[in-house]
Structure 1
Amino acid sequence: MKWRYKERKKGRFRNSLTSRYLLIILIAMIFMPIMFPLASVFFWFVNDTVLNNEPTPPGKYANGKVLEEMWHQEAAKLGGQSPERINERLREIRQEYPETSIFWVDASSRTRLELPGGQEIPEQWSSEHTVQFMKQSVGTDPFTTVALIGGKKDGGQGFMVMQLPRSYINEPDPIGSRTAIYILFMLTMFIMFILISWMFFVRIRKRLLHLRDAMTSPGETGIPTQIQLNKPDEIGQLEEAYNHMVAQLEKGRQREKEEEELRKSLIANLSHDLRTPLTVIRSHIFSMGNEPLSDTGKESLTLMESKIGDVGGLIDNLLSYSLLTSGRAELNPEPSDVLRLVRESAAGWYPLWEKEGIEADIDLQDEPVIWPIDVLWFKRILDNLFQNVVRHAKSGQYIGIYSKELPGKGMAIIVSDKGPGMGGRSFDKGAGIGLAVVDYLTREMGIDVQVQSSPEGTSITLSRKI
C-alpha cells in the first residue's frame, strides 16, 4: 500500500503544474551557459554573411600593425643600398603583396619608383607637399604606412610608402557594434524565456476561466454541467472534483424530485381517501341532529360539524396544492372583471360572517377592473383569504374588502381584518397550506401580493404586476 501511494504521489508530481514550471526554470538554467558561445556564433554569422559583403581578406593582411612593422623592417634593411637595389626589392615586395600600391622618394625629394603606375604622385616633392601627404594619410582609406629608408638613424636616403585599401585588413569592428549584436542576441533569448513563461500561465488562466464559466452557467435543470478533463495536473484534479460535485448535485436533485413526486402522490391519495369517512361522519351528524338532544349535545354536534368543515377545507387545499405543483391542474387565464368576482364571493361568505359576528365592510368601485385570470382559481384565492379571516381573525369581528388606486400599479383589491396579526411572519414563509395555495396561484397569474401585519390586524393587497 505504501509503495502504491508513493507511486501515485510521484505520478501526480510528474504531471503537476509545479513540475512543468520547474522544468522551464531548469531548461533556462542549463541553456544560460550555452547562450554565450551561441552569441559569438550568432555574431560571426551576422558579421560575415549579413553585414560584410566585401571579399574575405588574405591572412597576410590580418593586422595592420604587422604589415606596418614588416614595412619598417624592409626600409631599415635597404639603408645604404643603391637606387637600383631599392627598386628591385620593392618590386619583390609588390609581387608578394599585389593588392598594395608602393612608391619611394629619394633624398632629393624626387619620386624614383611607382608601383603600379598611373597614381597621382608628384615627381618632385616639396616640404609642404610632404607634410600635407603625411597628415592626410593618418586614419584614412587606403591604409598608408611610411618608413624612412635606413631607419631613423640613417634616414637620409628618403622614404618609401605602402598603401592598401582598408577592406583587405581584418581590423576589429567598433566595440559598440559588437556589443549591440551581442546584447541583441541575449535580449532575444531572455524574451523567448519570458514568452514561454507567459504562455505557460496564459494556458493556466484559460483553463481556470473555463472552469469558472462552467460553474456560473447552470444547465436546463439549474445545475452546472460537467466539463471534459484534459490533463491530470492540479487544475485537472480540481475539474475532477467539480465534476464529482456536479454528479452529487444531480443525484440529490433526482432524489429530491422522486421524494417530491412521492409526497404529492401521498397527499393526493390521502385527500381522496379522507373524503369518504368525512362524508359518512357528516351524514351521521346530520342524522343525530334530527334526534331529540340536550342543549349540550346540540352544541357538541355544531362544534363537530364546524371542525369537520375545517378538515374538509384543509383537504381541499392540500389536494389543490398537490394538483397545482405537480402540473396536473392547468390555469386558463382570460380577461375578467375581478371586482365582480369579489362581490360574488363575498356574497357567498356573508351568511357565515354574520353567523360568526364579523362585520363586513365592502367598498368596491362600480367600474369594472379587468385582469387576465383563471376565474375558478381566482375564486379559490378569495375563499382562502376569507376563510383565514374566519379562522384566525374572528376575534377582531371585522373584515374589510375595498378597492384602491395605487400609484404605478393601477386598481388594487385589499382584504383587511382587525385580528391579532400573523405573529410577525412574512407572507413568503406562509401561514398554512391555504396561504401557500394563494401564493402559488397569484404568482402563476401575475398578481402581486403585499402583506402588512401587526397586532392591530392584517392587510393583504392584490394588484396586477406591471
Structure 2
Amino acid sequence: MSARRDGRRKQGFFARQSLLTRYILIVVSGFLFIPIIIPLASLVYMTTSAIGGGDDVRFTMKYGNAGEVEMDWHAEARSLRGGRPDEVNARLRALADEYPEASLFWVDAEGQTRLRLPEDAEGEGGVPDHWSADDAVRFMKTSVGGDPFTVVAFLGENNGEAAFMALQLPRKLVEAGPSSGSGTTFFVAFVCVSFVLFTALSLLFFLRIRKRLLLLQAAMSKRGEHGLPAPVEVKRADEIGGLEGAFNGMVEQLKAGRERQQEEEELRKKLISNLSHDLRTPLTVMRGHLYTLGKEPLSGAGKESLATLERKADGLGELIDNLLAYTLMTSGRYRLEPEPADVWRLARESAAAWYPVWEKAGIEADIRLPADPLVWKVDKLAFRRILDNLFQNIVRHAAGGRYAGLYAERRDGRLMLVIEDRGPGLSGSSEGKGAGIGLAIVEYLLREMGLAWERESSEIGTRILIYQSGSSETWGDSR
C-alpha cells in the first residue's frame, strides 16, 4: 500500500522528477526569454564594464581622453615660461614625435607664427603667418567642438604670457564614441548564445523522451523466453519510468500466467493419459462379458440392447484411443515421417476398409477419384488416421443421409480431396459424441504435414476439403 502511495506521490503535478514539471519550466522559460534576457544582457554588460574600470575605452584612445590631453598640453606650455624661441621649437619637435598624428604650431608675443609641424603643412589649415585679433577669434570659433580636436595653451607660469602654442588631433583619438560598437556586439552575442542554449535544452529534453519511448517500443516488440517480452530497466522515476514499471509488471504477470498455463497443461495431459490407461482395463472386462452374453439365448429386445452396448463400448474404445493419441501429439511425442505418396491411392484403400461398415449402416459409398496419381508428402499412417476419423464421423453423425462421397475438386488452382455426406453433419445433433477430439487430431496432423482443410456445412450435408497449404501438388508416378 505504501509503495502505491509513493508511486502516486512521485507522479504528482509538481513532482520533482515529473516530465510535466520539466516541460512547464521550459515553457515558462520560453515566455520569459525576451522580457528577461534583454535587461539581463544589459546588466551583465554594465557589470563587466564597471569591473573593467573603463580600461577598454582607454585602450581605444591612444593618448587618453580629451581632458587628459588638454591638461598635458597646458602643463607643457607652463614649463616653457620665458623660453627662448629655439627652446620652444625644440620642445615642439619632441612633442610632434609623441603625437605623430597631430598638427602643432606656436605663436610668439608679437603674433608671428614661429613653427608649424608638420613642416610640409605650412600655409594650410587656416593658420596665418601673422595673427591679428580677428584671426585669433576666428580660429577659436572654428576649432571649438570641431574636428580636429584643438587645444590652445599660453606659455609661461599660469599660462600668463602672450605667446601660445596649439595642438590639433583627430577627435576619434581622444573620444570613445558609439562608433566602436563593442556594447552592441556583446549584447547581440549574449542574446544569441542564450537563445541557442534555450533551444538546445528544449531539443535535448524531447530527444531524451523520444529515445526512451523508442527503447520501450523495441522492448515491447522483442520476444524473449517463452515468446514474452523482456523486462526493461527503469532509469527515472517520472511518467515514462512509471510506464516502464507497469510494463515490467505486465511481463511478470504474463510470465506467471504462462508458467501456470504450462503446469495446468502438463497436469491435464497427465490426467488424460492416466484416465485413458485406467479406463482400458474395465473396458476390456466389459467387452469380454458382452461377448459371453452374446452366446446366451436372448429375446429380440435383449439382442438389441446387447448391440447398443457393443456400439457404445466400441465408441468408448475409440474415444480412449483418440485421447491417448491427442495427448501424445500435444506433448510432442507423436513423431511423423512424411514421404511422397499417392493420396488418391491412400484414400481408396481407406474407403475400401470402411466399405463394410458403411454397407452395414446403410450408407451408399460414392468414390470418384482420378486414375492419375496425386503425390503429396505425407505420413501414410497419419493420413489414414485422418481419413478414418472423418469416415467415422460420417457413420456417427451423418448416417441418416445414407451417403458418403469421396472425389476430387479443383479450386483456385488447387486440387483438393473432398469428403461429403448428406446428413445433419457436425452442425446438427447425433447420437454419438466425441467428434471434437477426433477433429482436433485431424487438424493437428494436417498442420504438421503441411496440409490444410476447410469445412462447409449446410442443410443438405457437410463437405470436408483437404489440400496442400504451401507447395503445389505433383502429378505422376508415386514411386
Scaled by the length of structure 2, what TM-score is found? Answer: 0.75
Alpha-carbon spacing, 1:344–1:321, altered in 2? closer, same or farther (3 Å)? same
- Answering whether residue 388 of structure 2 is matched by residue 377 of structure 1, we say no
The aligned runs of 1:43-82 (5 Å cut-off) are 57=61, 61-63=64-66, 66=67
Kept after mapping to 1: 8 A contact 2:419/2:465? yes
Shift of residue 298, structure 1, vs aligned partner: 1.0
Alpha-carbon spacing, 1:216–1:7, altered in 2? closer, same or farther (3 Å)? closer
Output the CA distance in 2 between the equivalents of 1:455 and 1:21.
Answer: 66
The aligned runs of 1:387-466 (5 Å cut-off) are 387-409=392-414, 411-423=415-427, 432-466=436-470
The aligned runs of 1:298-309 (5 Å cut-off) are 298-309=303-314
Q: Which residue of 2 aligns with 1:37?
A: 43
Kept after mapping to 2: 8 A contact 1:144/1:162? no
Output the CA distance in 2 between the equivalents of 1:45 and 1:98.
Answer: 30
Structure 2 unaligned segments of length 5 or more: list them: 129-134, 155-161, 471-479
Question: Which AA in structure 1 matches 2:64?
Answer: Y
The aligned runs of 1:29-428 (5 Å cut-off) are 35-39=41-45, 57=61, 61-63=64-66, 66=67, 98-99=98-99, 100-103=102-105, 112-115=114-117, 118-123=118-123, 144-145=148-149, 162-164=167-169, 168-174=173-179, 178-409=183-414, 411-423=415-427
Output the CA distance in 1 between the equivalents of 2:416 and 2:125.
Answer: 125
Output the CA distance in 2 between the equivalents of 1:405 and 1:174.
Answer: 95
Kept after mapping to 1: 8 A contact 2:338/2:377? yes
Kept after mapping to 1: 8 A contact 2:105/2:167? yes
Question: Which AA in structure 1 matches 2:114?
Answer: R
Alpha-carbon spacing, 1:44–1:318, altered in 2? closer, same or farther (3 Å)? farther
Shift of residue 35, structure 1, vs aligned partner: 4.4
User: Bigger shift: 222-231 or 385-394?
Assistant: 222-231
Output the CA distance in 2 between the equivalents of 1:159 and 1:294.
Answer: 166
Kept after mapping to 2: 8 A contact 1:282/1:305? yes
Question: Which AA in structure 1 matches 2:466?
Answer: L
Shift of residue 162, structure 1, vs aligned partner: 3.2
Shift of residue 415, structure 1, vs aligned partner: 0.6
Q: Deviations over 1:315-362 (max 9, x none)?
A: 111111111001111111111111111111101111111111111110
Output the CA distance in 2 between the equivalents of 1:369 and 1:119.
Answer: 124
Question: Which AA in structure 1 matches 2:352?
Answer: A
* 3-state secondary structure, aligned to 1:419: coil
* 3-state secondary structure, aligned to 2:226: coil
Kept after mapping to 1: 8 A contact 2:344/2:369? yes
Kept after mapping to 1: 8 A contact 2:152/2:167? no
Alpha-carbon spacing, 1:96–1:40, altered in 2? closer, same or farther (3 Å)? farther
Output the CA distance in 1 between the equivalents of 2:124 and 2:225.
Answer: 108
Q: Which residue of 1 aligns with 2:473?
A: none
Q: Which residue of 1 aligns with 2:158?
A: none
Question: Which AA in structure 2 matches 1:458?
Answer: T
Alpha-carbon spacing, 1:45–1:166, altered in 2? closer, same or farther (3 Å)? farther
Question: Which AA in structure 2 matches 1:465?
Answer: S
Q: Which residue of 2 aligns with 1:154?
A: none
Q: Which residue of 1 aligns with 2:476?
A: none
Q: Deviations over 1:215-247 (max 9, x none)?
A: 222213111111122233332232222212211
Scaled by the length of structure 1, what TM-score is found? Answer: 0.77
Kept after mapping to 1: 8 A contact 2:393/2:435? no
Structure 1 unaligned segments of length 5 or more: list them: 151-156
Output the CA distance in 1 between the equivalents of 2:11 and 2:403.
Answer: 78
Output the CA distance in 2 between the equivalents of 1:124 and 1:331.
Answer: 121
CA RMSD of aligned residues (A): 4.8
Alpha-carbon spacing, 1:458–1:114, altered in 2? closer, same or farther (3 Å)? same
* 3-state secondary structure, aligned to 1:330: coil
Kept after mapping to 2: 8 A contact 1:109/1:126? no
Alpha-carbon spacing, 1:7–1:351, altered in 2? closer, same or farther (3 Å)? closer
Alpha-carbon spacing, 1:195–1:443, altered in 2? closer, same or farther (3 Å)? same
Aligned residues: 433
Q: Which residue of 2 aligns with 1:153?
A: none
* 3-state secondary structure, aligned to 2:409: strand
* 3-state secondary structure, aligned to 1:174: helix
Alpha-carbon spacing, 1:280–1:39, altered in 2? closer, same or farther (3 Å)? farther
Output the CA distance in 1 between the equivalents of 2:7 and 2:356.
Answer: 84
